Chains A and B, each alone.
Chain A
Amino acid sequence: MSDMTEIVKRISGVNPRKCMKCGKCSAACPAYDEMDYHPHQFVDMVENGRLEELMNSKGIYMCLSCFACMERCPRSVEPAKLIEAVRLAVVRQQDRNHLKPEQIPALLDPELPQQAITSAFRKYRK
Chain B
Amino acid sequence: MTYSYFPGCTLKTKGKDLDLWGRASMAALGIELQELPQWQCCGAVYPQARDEIATKLPAVRALASARDLGQDLVTLCSACHHVIKRVNCDMAQDEYIRTRANNYMKLDVPYAGETKVLHYLEALRDQVGFGELQKRVKNPLAGRKIGAYYGCLLLRPSRELEFDDPENPAIIEDFIRALGAEPVVYAMRNECCGGYTTLENKPYAVKQAGKVLDNAANCGAEEIITACPLCMYNLKENGGGRLPVRYFTELLAEALGVKEAEA
Is this pair of chains taken from one and the same complex?
A: yes
The interface centre, meaning the residue of A81, A111, A114 with most chain B CB atoms within 10 A of its CB, is: A114
In the complex formed, the residue of A with least CB distance to B237 is: A111
Residues of B within 8 A of A34 (CB): 201, 204
Interface residues of A in 91-119 (CB under 8 A from B): 99, 107, 109, 111-119
User: For the complex, would chain A's binding face be called helix, strand, loop or mixed by DSSP majority?
Assistant: helix
Given contacts A62-B201, A118-B43, contact A113 B49 (CB under 8 A): no
The contact of B44 among A12, A99, A119, by CB within 8 Å, is A119
Cα–Cα, bound, A18→B114 (Å): 32
Q: How large is the interface on A (under 10, 10 to 19, 20 to 34, 35 or more residues)?
A: 35 or more
User: For the complex, would chain B's binding face be called helix, strand, loop or mixed by DSSP majority?
Assistant: loop
Interface residues of B in 14-53 (CB under 8 A from A): 14-15, 41, 43-52
The contact of B192 among A30, A109, A111, by CB within 8 Å, is A30
In the complex formed, the residue of B with least CB distance to A83 is: B48
Q: Are the CB atoms of B156 and A120 closer together than 8 Å?
A: no
Q: Are the CB atoms of B77 and A115 closer together than 8 Å?
A: yes
Q: Are the CB atoms of B50 and A11 closer together than 8 Å?
A: yes
Residues of B within 8 A of A71 (CB): 155-158, 166-167
Q: Are the CB atoms of B44 and A64 closer together than 8 Å?
A: no
A-B contact pairs, 9 of them (CB 8 A): A31-B194, A62-B204, A65-B45, A68-B152, A68-B192, A84-B49, A88-B49, A111-B233, A115-B229
**Interface set of B (CB-CB < 8 Å, partner A):** 8-10, 13-15, 41, 43-52, 55, 77, 79, 151-152, 155-158, 166-167, 191-192, 194-201, 204, 208, 229-230, 232-233, 236-237
